[in-house]
Amino acid sequence: MATKERKNRQQQQATVRIVIMAAIVVCVNVLASYFHKGIDLTHEKRFTLTEPTKKLLRSMEEVAVIDVYLKGQFPAGLQRLQEAVRERLRSFKEVAGNRIIFRFIDPFEGKTEKEKKAIAHDLEVKGIKVMELENRDDEEYSMKPFFPYALVQYNGHEMPIYLLDAPRGGGSQEQLNYAEAMLEYQFANAINRMSKPARPSIAYLTGHGEPLGVKTYDMLATLPGIYDLDSLDLTQTIDISVAYDAVIINQPTMPFSGPDKLKIDQYIMHGGHVLWVVNALNASLDSLVNSPQFIALEHQTELDDILFKYGVRVNFDLLEDMQCNPLPRVLNNGRPTLHDWVYFPRLNPTADHPIVKNMDLVMGGFTNTIDTIKSAGINKTILLHSSKYSRAARSPVRVSLSMMSYPLKHEMFTKQYMPVAVLLEGQFHSLYENRLAPEYLRLLDSLKHPFKPKCDSTNKMIVTSVGELFSNGYSNKDGILPIGYYQFTGEYFANKTFLLNCLEYLTDNSGVLEARSKDVKLRLLDKGRVKPERTQWQVVNVVIPIAAVLVFASFYLFFRKRRYEVKKDSKTLS
């Protein structure tokens, strides 16, 4: 009788333990759904939010609603991206709390064909386009529509995000990996831009031969989508208003007068930012239309002294680089063939800086080299440079198509990594410090434009000498071409990305751009071992863990049974 009661009591205790364990598991899962925590064990900390992003999320005053349209069953790569988006938004929610709401939506789920067309049209108006996904397997081939986009709604605005935005070129795995690494920047940048009460303002300066027409169409059409853009004739204004967050000086060809340089100088001293695109030599592909050669002479822009004062010198030379774009040339057979054109370099953005980190190559036209000058308190960062095999030809330079007839030899290109774009940061001093007459200073005071000899705080500017850097091409067949598209090879370069990153860095002090500087390291499976070792690794990941649990349970029950048998024997003996 006592043995039966003891067994019943043991069964009741076991039942209670099972119920308690089940309750604990349920509670842990419920809590885990509300409090999501993780440990980032990656070397590059790619899953850890940057401090500027955390600061932005903590300062949110309204609720951001994020609709992710990447929902459904996809191939492994897109499935991984889908989970990466979910994890990234969860990490945003950990910091921002209830101010972040996200949901995954399949717009076509349960809809008729007519409804799908209407939905696709409405989403396209918002900048979200339906795409076709190739679905291949051993038995059939099909096309599946999907939306690799997210729509962020915040502060009365909404902004689409293209989740597959990645540099062209490379394999699909590399592009997916890049897109995954850029998710933090994509979402944080959208929230940051919509949180501002007013958009940053930018002026495109004219009056000194700056291009303004077909070649600048794409730039002047792209920027108004992000900034309040204005064109300003420097020669017709007394002062550059500090209302402009940045100004663009793009390839001037005419000399700047002293008063015009003073306007730029004082704009900088009052905290304004400048994106300089300055070419020291007059070189253009149009010069080769009627003649197979031309002489590249100096541009007399008179900007040497002001740039020298700020810490750089644009040299009177032409960069020649073995890493270059080709140019078509008609030879004896009458057919145009592509030949390397050393004056059109493919520039390397290898600096560890948010402006260019993880960015693709930049296409250059006729380009000059830049020297950095020792300037107290000015930090200099090389953003773009030539390849390992380059050289510079001093002015005057004879540019001839006949150069394409000879093979390029490495021993002739002995200069390495020559700078062509430099970021300058620090407290700049005016070119006209201690140089203006007292009468002129009094005149400036009377006009309510007092002269400032230096910046009150740290300022920044970007100087580049890359020819045609932000110019777009044109063809009779396709019309206006995008910035960075090289029509002779059909390649896309990161010129527009560089433009937007430069302006964002100059006009935005939030530091969100830092999220772009995360390392992108791809750790792929060895495809040669995937199929032969598939069963082996399935056993390792599925069977072995279950077997380990069963072995542990067997040992636990065995020793538990022995313990009770020893207790029973001791009671019997007593």
- pLDDT at position 134 is 73
- pLDDT at position 495 is 95
- pLDDT at position 553 is 72
- pLDDT at position 301 is 93
- Is residue 346 scored above 90 in pLDDT? yes
Nearest-5° Cα angle at 419, 417 to 424: 140
Q: Which of 21-25, 348-352, 498-502 has the highest mean pLDDT?
A: 498-502
Q: Does domain 201-507 have CATH number 3.40.50?
A: yes
* 121-168: pLDDT as tens digits: 999 999 899 888 776 655 556 677 889 999 999 999 999 999 988 766
* 5-35: pLDDT as tens digits: 766 776 776 676 677 776 776 676 666 555 5
Per-residue pLDDT band at 389 (split at 50, 70, 90): very high
Q: Mean pLDDT over residues 102-119, rounded?
A: 90
- pLDDT at position 186 is 92
Sign of CA dihedral 388, 393, 397, 398: negative
The first and second tokens of residue 181, run together, are 């690494």
> Percent of the chain at pLDDT above 70?
85
Q: Which residues contact 184 (CB under 8 A, 6 or more apart)?
A: 49, 50, 53, 88, 515, 518
Give 410-447 as a 3 state SS string: HHHCCECCCEEEEEEEECCECCCCCCCCHHHHHHHHHC
Q: Classify each residue of 311-340 as buried b or exposed e, where b means 16 or more C-beta atoms within 10 Å of its C-beta.
A: bbbbbbbbbbbbbbbebeeeeeeeeeeebb
C-alpha distances in angstroms, 34 versus 24, 27, 523? 16, 11, 31
The first and second tokens of residue 418, run together, are 């020559």
C-alpha distances in angstroms, 428 versus 208, 241, 277? 24, 19, 19
CA 354, CA 505: separation in Å to the nearest integer? 8
Nearest-5° Cα angle at 120, 114 to 124: 150
C-alpha distances in angstroms, 68 versus 107, 189, 395? 10, 16, 55
CATH architecture for segment(s) 51-193: 3-Layer(aba) Sandwich (3.40)
CA 462, CA 287: separation in Å to the nearest integer? 29
The first and second tokens of residue 550, run together, are 């069963």
Average per-residue pLDDT for the chain: 85
The first and second tokens of residue 79, run together, are 């499935």
* 38-76: pLDDT as tens digits: 565 555 566 688 899 999 999 999 999 999 999 888 888
- The residue extents of the domains of the chain are 1-35, 51-193, 201-507, 534-574
Question: Nearest-CA neighbor of 515 among 275, 170, 190?
Answer: 190
- pLDDT at position 72 is 83
Beta bridge partners of 234: none
- pLDDT at position 519 is 61
Q: Which residues contact 322 (CB under 8 A, 6 or more apart)?
A: 340, 342, 387, 389, 390, 408, 410, 413
- pLDDT at position 477 is 86
For residues 451 and 444, is the Cβ–Cβ distance under 8 A?
Answer: yes
C-alpha distances in angstroms, 128 versus 46, 85, 224? 27, 17, 19
- Is residue 532 scored above 80 in pLDDT? no
- pLDDT at position 564 is 63
Per-residue pLDDT band at 244 (split at 50, 70, 90): very high
Alpha-helical segments (H) within 128-182: 172-181
* 467-484: pLDDT as tens digits: 899 999 988 888 999 999
The first and second tokens of residue 416, run together, are 């390495």
